[in-house]
Amino acid sequence: MCFYCKGDMRPGKTLFSVQYGNCVIVIKNVPCMECVQCGETEISDEVMKQLETMIETVKKTMQEIAVIDYTKVA
């Protein structure tokens, strides 16, 4: 059940982005639960841990913009 509108949640994919200094990291195709009513997304703890690992890896390269496909890296 959605935290905001109480709608039903279903499996989906979302875009996750974070800014670190002058670097923007975009991770696409991130597994999530998505509300069918309002579109709000929730990312599980397991997926969030994977995202943190990916972000730490990209930080080491310090590119200005990085786009990663979750399904190809996780």
pLDDT digits (tens, 9 = 90+) for 30-63: 999 999 999 999 999 999 999 999 999 888 877 6
Mean pLDDT across 11-15: 97
SS3 60: helix
Phi/psi at 67 (5° precision): -120, 125
In angstroms, rounded to a whole number, what is the distance separating the alpha carbons of residues 19 and 71?
Answer: 21
Q: Which residues does 28 contact at the CB level (< 8 Å), separation at least 6?
A: 13, 15, 16, 67, 68, 69, 70
Structural domains in the chain, CATH included, are 9-73 (3.10.20.860)
Give the per-residue pLDDT at 21: 82
